[in-house]
């Protein structure tokens, strides 16, 4: 049924598949002509790590950006790197750690492209200190139906802010200039605290997060009662040479992590159920030290523990899973507690539940982060009542003045989206001028009526 | 578009006056339903049904002509109905008539009408729908089959064989579409209390349109190909299929 170039695409969550035609286009194409010819719509797709339908367009085309992965310019004096949009964070870490540079922001996987990191304005464990990815982007080359435009934060703030977190809808991101972070080693000095409940971890984070560049808490989503929200909090900073000894000093800047194993596609759905997730959570909690100070971990295992297993999304089985991440402002701590309570009560076990604190929002019109608490969950598709449970969570988040993350969204309603993203209309107006025919669109933008 | 739980925004119903289809729409209205096309032969009843559907919430309902017995028009009619929504996220094939077994057995025209309405017409429409969904790159089809079609019995073989045909056709298509984003789910309810069956005395294990709707949508969400309602019919039909024909033809039901 499919022509040679047709691909069945899903996001990393493996739900909501759609067929699109794959396009491999030179980065210096005649973009206005090319985009105008794609009347059934087109979306850019990198490594496909957004969780659901942001990088696919059923019945349309997608541009494979991973073939654009060249370094265009690097200035070791300033750490400013110009690179094509299909290059991954993994590639940057491998190529530049030797010179003493690290990416300024990394999400939980380094297998994301620069284009995707900008379009989703991704964040990492250092948002409370360093903001999100696009806070470190100086310029973006964007292919639009009107031509290729170079966007700079100061010269063209409107379109720059629409593109950062704009889910790829303002144009195809071709390349970008970003400022890398100087580091002395590829190691991270980590403090770990195991806390008994949610209150304990939240107050610890409130009091001490400012001392650390990186901070994240893994939360046991199935613990209830007085243990509700018990967590393992890990915080750290890049290790300096003085922090290292012995083995670590041999090649302090080496960054050559390996994917040890790729999960085979044989797992039936339902292996991750409330029982196994409970057991896993118990084990993870127990194996963590009660308190540990100054442990040296390699950056790859600190930032991207899941990247050790390739295609780990397969362990959820063919039905896939849904990620859900929200942010609520400081002062709305009860929403975090209530949502954990709601999940535990519904036996909706989340395999990986992560809590962190965001710092100030940037100017991105559709950018997710805002000052407050953010909680990320992933739940396997299949348990009854999940859609209604998520709708209830949306209501709690909206009431608190928060929002959900579109890079992970699989199901938010149009009404709720409007309430979560107050600048949506402004964003649409910009699309009306830059992308009036919605040549750039995705299943996500169609589902949400953007 | 469908979301990750296969909750559609746009739905087309062939056999738009069906009570089960209405129960499905009722359930979907609690989620992401926005636009509905009800297609059927009788515009008057469809308009009544349409106002019931729009009363379910902020839902835009349109009606279209679909006469399953008019084989020269079925494909065009279903294409027209599907063109009224931006994407056909879910197509419900609900067209069907029960007939009257004892009188229809000696009535060739009645047999032709039942088989066309329940099998040939819907199969033609499904073919058009699958083509449409391949082009749009995704979509789901819910086929309202019947336990009567899973094991055809003496007491109900005209209706039963029509549903058996539709059921097998749908599962064959499902095989052809395996591992593609176009999904077909076949629903096999037992006796459902609806206007179609109101003239018949209720039987044990009868179910309701609401229960059929809930099971059908759950099956859709889980990517199931076959949904029995109630689920115990799977075992019962397994038993019936393994009974000798001499026993089978004497079954009292």
Provide mean pLDDT across the span A327-349: 93
What is the structure's pLDDT at A2? 46
CA B152 – CA B158 distance, rounded (Å): 9
Pairing of strands A321-328, A187-195: unpaired
CB-based contact (8 Å) between B241 and chain A?
Answer: no
- DSSP at A351: S
| Domain segments of chain B as ranges | 10-248
Using a CB-CB distance cutoff of 8 angstroms, which residues of chain A are in contact with residue B135?
Answer: 59
What is the structure's pLDDT at A366? 98
Cα B50 to chain centroid, rounded: 18
Asked whether the beta carbons of residue B181 and residue A58 sit closer than 8 angstroms, the reply is yes
Q: Which of residues 134-173 of B touch A (CB under 8 A)?
A: 134-138
Asked whether the beta carbons of residue A20 and residue B7 sit closer than 8 angstroms, the reply is no
CB-based contact (8 Å) between B2 and chain A?
Answer: yes
CATH no., domain A187-410:
3.30.70.2520
Question: Distance, in angstroms, between B100 CA and closest chain A CA?
Answer: 39
CB-based contact (8 Å) between B57 and chain A?
Answer: no
Contacts (Cβ under 8 Å, ≥6 apart) of A328: A335, A336, A372, A373, A397, A400, A401, A402
Facing B137 at nearest CB: one of A13, A20, A381: A20
Is pLDDT at A1 greater than 50 in this prediction?
Answer: no
Q: Does ipTM surpass 0.90 in this model?
A: yes
Tracing tokens 């097998």 back to the chain, one arrives at B168
Residue B164 annotated among the catalytic residues of the structure: no
Q: Which of A371, A318, A368 is nearest to A166 (CA)?
A: A368
Q: Which of A260, A196, A191 is nearest to A231 (CA)?
A: A196
Q: Which residue of B has its CA nearest to A20?
A: B137
The whole-chain average pLDDT of chain A stands at 94
The whole-chain average pLDDT of chain B stands at 96
Provide mean pLDDT across the span A2-11: 84
Provide mean pLDDT across the span A116-135: 98
Facing B4 at nearest CB: one of A8, A381, A384: A381
Which tops the pLDDT comparison, A1 or A285? A285
- DSSP at A152: E
**Res. B70 pLDDT band, cuts 50 70 90:** very high
Provide mean pLDDT across the span A382-402: 95
Q: What pLDDT digit, counting tens, does each position of A152-186 carry?
A: 999 999 999 999 999 999 999 999 999 999 999 99
Phi-psi region of B87 (alpha: psi -120 to 50; beta: other; left: phi over 0): beta
CATH architecture, domain defined by B10-248:
3-Layer(aba) Sandwich (3.40)
Peptide bond preceding A65 in cis form (omega within 30 of 0) = no
Q: What pLDDT digit, counting tens, does each position of A220-232 carry?
A: 988 889 999 999 9
Q: What pLDDT digit, counting tens, does each position of B11-48 carry?
A: 999 999 999 999 999 999 999 999 999 999 999 999 99
Structure tokens that stand for A171 in this block: 């144009």
Catalytic residue among B22, B159, B173, B233: B159
Provide mean pLDDT across the span A395-414: 98
Provide mean pLDDT across the span A109-138: 98
CB-based contact (8 Å) between B179 and chain A?
Answer: yes
Q: What pLDDT digit, counting tens, does each position of A373-383 carry?
A: 999 998 988 88
What is the structure's pLDDT at A3? 59
Tracing tokens 């004497």 back to the chain, one arrives at B250
Asked whether the beta carbons of residue A381 and residue B5 sit closer than 8 angstroms, the reply is yes
| Domain segments of chain A as ranges | 187-410
Facing A8 at nearest CB: one of B7, B86, B180: B180
Q: Which long-range contacts (CB under 8 A, 24 or more apart) does A21-28 make?
A: A21/A60, A21/A61, A21/A62, A22/A61, A22/A62, A22/A64, A23/A61, A23/A62, A23/A63, A23/A64, A24/A63, A24/A64, A24/A67, A25/A63, A27/A68, A27/A84, A27/A174, A27/A175
């Amino acid at each position: 049924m499919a022509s040679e170039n047709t691909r069945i695409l899903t996001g990393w969550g493996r739900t909501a598949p759609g067929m699109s035609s794959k396009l491999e286009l030179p980065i210096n194409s005649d973009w206005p002509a090319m985009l105008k010819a794609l009347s059934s719509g087109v979306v850019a797709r990198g490594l496909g790590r957004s969780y659901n339908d942001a990088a696919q367009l059923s019945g349309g085309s997608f541009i494979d950006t991973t073939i654009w992965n060249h370094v265009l310019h690097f200035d070791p004096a300033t750490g400013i790197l110009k690179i094509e949009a299909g290059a991954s964070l993994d590639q940057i870490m491998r190529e530049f750690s030797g010179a003493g540079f690290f990416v300024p922001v990394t999400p939980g996987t380094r297998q994301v492209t620069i284009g995707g990191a900008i379009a989703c304005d991704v964040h990492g464990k250092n948002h409370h200190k360093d903001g999100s990815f696009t806070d470190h982007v100086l310029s973006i080359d964007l292919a639009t139906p009107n031509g290729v435009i170079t966007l700079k934060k100061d010269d063209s703030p409107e379109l720059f802010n629409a593109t950062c977190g704009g889910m790829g809808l303002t144009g195809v991101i071709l390349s970008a200039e970003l400022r890398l972070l100087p580091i002395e080693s590829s190691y991270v000095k980590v403090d770990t605290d195991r806390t008994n409940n949610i209150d304990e971890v939240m107050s610890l984070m409130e009091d001490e997060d400012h001392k650390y560049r990186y901070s994240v808490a893994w939360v046991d989503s199935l613990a209830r009662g007085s243990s509700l929200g018990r967590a393992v909090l890990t915080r750290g900073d890049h290790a300096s040479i003085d922090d290292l000894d012995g083995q670590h000093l041999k090649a302090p800047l080496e960054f050559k992590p390996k994917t040890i194993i790729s999960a085979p596609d044989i797992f039936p759905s339902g292996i991750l159920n409330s029982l196994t997730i409970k057991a896993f959570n118990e084990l993870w909690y127990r194996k963590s030290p009660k308190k540990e100070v100054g442990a040296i971990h390699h950056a790859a295992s600190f930032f991207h523990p899941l990247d050790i297993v390739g295609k780990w999304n397969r362990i959820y089985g063919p039905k896939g899973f849904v990620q859900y991440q929200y942010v609520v402002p400081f002062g709305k701590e009860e929403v975090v507690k209530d949502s954990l309570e709601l999940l535990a009560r519904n036996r909706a076990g989340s395999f990986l539940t992560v809590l962190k604190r965001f710092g100030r929002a940037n100017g991105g019109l559709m950018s997710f982060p805002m000052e407050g608490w953010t909680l990320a969950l992933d739940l396997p598709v299949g348990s009854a009542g999940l859609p209604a449970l998520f709708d209830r969570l949306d209501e709690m988040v909206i009431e608190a003045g928060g929002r959900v993350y579109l890079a992970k969204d699989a199901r938010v309603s149009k009404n709720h989206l409007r309430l979560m993203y107050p600048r949506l209309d402004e964003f649409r107006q910009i699309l009306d001028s830059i992308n009036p025919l919605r040549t750039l669109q995705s299943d996500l933008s169609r589902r949400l009526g953007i | 578009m469908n979301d990750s739980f296969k909750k559609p925004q746009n739905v087309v119903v062939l056999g738009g006056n069906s009570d089960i289809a209405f129960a499905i729409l009722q359930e979907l209205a609690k989620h992401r339903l926005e636009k509905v096309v009800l297609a059927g032969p009788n515009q008057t009843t469809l308009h009544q049904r349409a106002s019931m559907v729009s009363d379910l919430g902020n839902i835009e309902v349109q009606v279209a002509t679909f006469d399953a017995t008019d084989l020269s028009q079925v494909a065009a009619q279903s294409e027209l109905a599907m063109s009224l929504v931006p994407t056909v996220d879910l197509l419900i094939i609900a067209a069907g008539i029960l007939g009257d077994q004892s009188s229809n057995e000696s009535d060739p025209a009645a047999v032709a009408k039942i088989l066309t309405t329940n099998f040939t017409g819907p199969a033609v429409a499904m073919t058009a729908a699958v083509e449409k969904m391949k082009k749009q790159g995704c979509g789901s089809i819910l086929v309202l089959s019947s336990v009567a079609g899973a094991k055809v019995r003496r007491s109900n073989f005209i209706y039963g064989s029509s549903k058996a045909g539709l059921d097998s056709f749908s599962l064959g298509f499902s095989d052809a579409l395996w591992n593609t984003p176009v999904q077909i789910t076949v629903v096999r309810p037992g006796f459902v209390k609806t206007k179609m069956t109101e003239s018949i005395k209720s039987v044990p294990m009868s179910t309701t349109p609401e229960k059929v709707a809930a099971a059908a949508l759950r099956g859709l969400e889980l990517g199931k190909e076959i949904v029995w309602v109630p689920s115990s019919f799977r075992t019962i039909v397994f038993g019936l299929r393994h009974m000798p024909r001499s026993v089978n033809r004497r079954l009292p039901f």
